[in-house]
Structure formats: C-alpha cells, structure tokens
Amino acid sequence: MPQKHNTMPEIFDNVSLKKYNTFGVEATARWYTEINSEDDLKDLFANEAWRKAERLVLGGGSNLLLTKDFDGLVIRMNIKGISSKVNGEQVIVEAGAGEVWHNLVMYCVDNGFAGMENLSLIPGSVGASPIQNIGAYGVELKDVFESCRVFFIETGEIREFKKEECRFGYRESIFKNDLKGEVIITNVVFRLSTKPALNISYGAIGEELQKRHIANPGIKDVSDVVSHIRVSKLPDPSTIGNSGSFFKNPIISETEFKKIQSIFPDTVHFCLPNSTVKLAAGWLIEQCGWKGKKIGETGTWKNQALVLVNYGNATGSEVYDLSSRIIEDVKTKFGVSLEREVNVI
Ligand SMILES: Cc1cc2nc3c(=O)[nH]c(=O)nc-3n(C[C@H](O)[C@H](O)[C@H](O)COP(=O)(O)OP(=O)(O)OC[C@H]3O[C@@H](n4cnc5c(N)ncnc54)[C@H](O)[C@@H]3O)c2cc1C
C-alpha cells in the first residue's frame, strides 16, 4: 500500500461498494477514501503513489456498472455547500461536487430559481452532472451550466472550465473524452433566472398538468409533475437496482433511417438538425422482445426496456452480458449499434 501522508484523508482497505452503486452489485475496492475539500484532493495526490494508482472517482454511483472488484483507489466525492447570488432576474448558484443533485434542484425550486425544474429527481451528485451533461424532459445540464472547478490529478492545478470548454453534447462532455481519468470536478456553477421560461412541451408534462387542473404552472408544479412521472416510469434503485437508461438513444443519418423505416414503418424517431435522426433505444430493444424479460437475477424493466435491472443478487458481469446480448440483437434486427450510456468499470 502506498505510504500515508500526515494530512491525507483517511484511506480504508477492502471496502464493499455495494451500497455505493445504484445497481446494488457487489464489488470490493482495494482502497477507499472520501474527499471533503479541494485541500483533501491536493493532500491525497501530493503522494506520488496515489497519483500513479488505479483510480475511480465516485459520486452517487448511479451511472456505473461494477463488473469486478476494483484493484485501486476509490475516491468518493463529498464536497458540500450550496450558495446563491441574485442580481435582478439573474441568479448564480454554486454547489459542491458532493451535493445530491436532487437536493440542489429542490433548493432552486424552493427559492424560485427557474431552469432546473425539468431535471428533478435525477439520481447522483452535482459533480457528476457535467460528465455526461445530464438531461431529461427537454432540458440538459448545459442549458443552466455556467462553469465548474476542475482539479488536475497529475499537476494538482485547479482550473475553471467555462461552458464552451466543456464540449457538451448528448450525454457527452470533454470530461468523458479527452480529460477522462485526468481530472476531478470539485464544484459547479449554474446560471438560473427568477423569471421562469417553462418547458412543458416534452413527454407527459402537459398532460399531467392538465389532469391536475393547473392552467398556469409555476416551477414547483413542473418539478412535482416531472418527479411524479419519473417515479411512475422508473424503478426505484433503493428497491430494484438499476442505473437508469443503460444505453444512449442512437443517432443515425437520414439515409440509414429511411432504410430502417422502409422495413419498420413505425420506427420511433426524432428528426435532428444536420440530416440526422435520433432513434428511441427503448423501442428498438422492445422490438427485439427484450422488454420485461428476466434472465436469472437480471433483466430489463417491465415498463421501460432501456433500463436494465438487478432483481437482487445479480453480478455486474451478468448485467454486462445481458447488455451485450441486447446490443447484438438490435444490431442483427435493425443494423443499429447501441452504445452503453452507463460507465462500465
Ligand atoms: C433511476 C435512474 C434514473 C436516471 N435518469 C437519468 C436521466 O433522466 N438523465 C440522465 O442524464 N441520467 C440519468 N441517470 C443517470 C445518473 O443519474 C446520472 O448520470 C448522474 O449524473 C450520475 O451521477 P453520480 O454522482 O451517481 O455519478 P457516478 O455514477 O458516481 O459516476 C458517473 C461517472 O462520473 C465520474 N464522476 C463522478 N463524479 C465525478 C467528479 N466529481 N469528477 C470527475 N468525475 C466524476 C465517475 O468516475 C463515473 O465515470 C439515471 C440513473 C438512475 C439510477
């Protein structure tokens, strides 16, 4: 084991990660530590052995699949704190990487800060939100993102990244690509507004507001409705292990789409700019007969085939194998390659 440093955060040996991943699969971390400040990170990585060690940064563990024990250092982000500054209609909100995402959304909703309400109830931490540019119900993180503070593991440098530098895309950012494994996000700054510009056109939001006879919704109404729809559609990880959408919705060219549509006229799709088309991965999987199927302790969710679940004692590699079978079937039937959204470790 690398030598300890006096002011270093405490390092624990052989820690079970079962309660730290929403799939609820068993895996052991060779070493485990929790980070409560940027100084903790500086102290930890002042030690060359830890800089060189295999590492896994962990937030809420809601977007990863552990397929085996982790023979390295797991770094759980626990930097807390939420603050805000209102300037006219503009609001700047800052939050530590270790804050729970939904708590931040609730802080904003309760204070009348608009912009995040459609992102209610997404599991996980604030620090992970830029990693895959989280999104739901027609809103993405990038729509409210101002900047984030980023710690460079090798040099100990801390830099601010503005939105343009983060190269946000659909479930993508620079942190998942060029900077993967090299940096740790310590806090995130958001730009919100006291004047709501509600986005209620997506999914069943409008319908649910109507059902509730809400003609002039506020941000709290939208947040409540989004939370309600999510709870009714997605399995709760505290009872059935899962990581939300397991695959990304594939984006293909219009030409490829036309070929698929000529054979499957009902193909669920959304036209995007640049002659591309986004397909609904859940629909493709369902057409291959996978919806609600159970194999041993794993399977796909009965209401949404895009969500792979752990019914109790599945191992990460069983879930992974299931995902490979699904990828193969979708490729054979539609010629489309599904890409995993979940980070496989
Ligand atoms: C029921 C359910 C529903 C979901 N719905 C959605 C949805 O609607 N939209 C959506 O976009 N996602 C959704 N997700 C996925 C997940 O909630 C998000 O991806 C979330 O941002 C993951 O946060 P986390 O803290 O749990 O990240 P983790 O799973 O802990 O980590 C994810 C990745 O980010 C890295 N990472 C984490 N924190 C940091 C940090 N501070 N610095 C650097 N790297 C870091 C990790 O190393 C890992 O590679 C859902 C998941 C579940 C279980």
DSSP line for 277-336: EEE-HHHHHHHTT-TT-EETTEEEETTEEEEEEE-SS--HHHHHHHHHHHHHHHHHHH--
Ligand 1 centroid to 295 CA: how many Å? 25
Q: Among the atoms of ligand 1, which is closest to the Cα of residue 22? A: 53
Pairing of strands 55-58, 70-77: parallel
Tens of pLDDT, residue by residue over 242-294, are 999 999 999 999 999 999 999 999 999 999 988 999 999 999 999 999 999 99
Q: Residue 101 pLDDT more than 90?
A: yes
The per-residue pLDDT for 5 is 45
Ligand 1 centroid to 24 CA: how many Å? 15
Average of per-residue pLDDT across 171-179: 95
The per-residue pLDDT for 8 is 82
Q: Whose CA is nearest to atom 4 of ligand 1?
A: 244
Q: Among the atoms of ligand 1, which is closest to the Cα of residue 185? A: 42
- Name the residues annotated as catalytic: 171, 245, 341
Average of per-residue pLDDT across 175-195: 97
Tell me the average pLDDT of the chain.
95
The per-residue pLDDT for 7 is 67
The per-residue pLDDT for 307 is 97
Ligand 1 centroid to 129 CA: how many Å? 6
Q: How far apart are CA 316 and CA 334, in angstroms?
A: 27
Return the structure tokens found at 53: 């060690």
Average of per-residue pLDDT across 148-168: 97
Identify the helix (H) or strand (E) that includes residue 35: strand 28-35
Q: Is the CB of 241 under 6 A from ligand 1?
A: no
Q: Residue 319 pLDDT more than 90?
A: yes
Q: Whose CA is nearest to atom 28 of ligand 1?
A: 61
The per-residue pLDDT for 3 is 45
Q: Is the CB of 249 under 6 A from ligand 1?
A: no
Return the structure tokens found at 212: 């509730």
Q: Among the atoms of ligand 1, which is closest to the Cα of residue 98? A: 41
Q: Whose CA is nearest to atom 15 of ligand 1?
A: 63
Burial of 87 (0-12, 13-18, 19+ CB in 10 A): exposed
Q: Is the CB of 127 under 6 A from ligand 1?
A: yes
Tell me the whole-structure pTM to 2 decimals: 0.93
Residue 68 contacts by C-beta under 8 Å, 6 or more apart in sequence? Answer: 27, 316, 317
Q: Whose CA is nearest to atom 43 of ligand 1?
A: 184
Q: Whose CA is nearest to atom 36 of ligand 1?
A: 128
Q: Among the atoms of ligand 1, which is closest to the Cα of residue 20? A: 30
* Poorest-pLDDT segment among 81-85, 270-274, 294-298: 270-274
Q: Determine if residue 156 is left, alpha or beta; phi over 0 gives left, psi from -120 to 50 gives alpha, anything else beta.
A: left
Q: Is the CB of 122 under 6 A from ligand 1?
A: yes
Contact 83, 190 (CB under 8 A): no
Contact 57, 17 (CB under 8 A): no
Q: How confident is the model at residue 6 (pLDDT cuts 50, 70, 90)?
A: low
User: 76 pairs with which residues across the strands?
Assistant: 34, 58
Contact 37, 96 (CB under 8 A): no
* Poorest-pLDDT segment among 66-80, 83-97, 195-209, 248-262: 195-209
Closest CA to 137 of 151, 116, 156, 157: 116
Q: Is the CB of 123 under 6 A from ligand 1?
A: yes
Q: How confident is the model at residue 12 (pLDDT cuts 50, 70, 90)?
A: very high
Closest CA to 308 of 323, 295, 329: 323
Residue 57 vs residues 29, 32, 75, 311: alpha-carbon distances, Å: 12, 10, 5, 26
Average of per-residue pLDDT across 178-193: 97
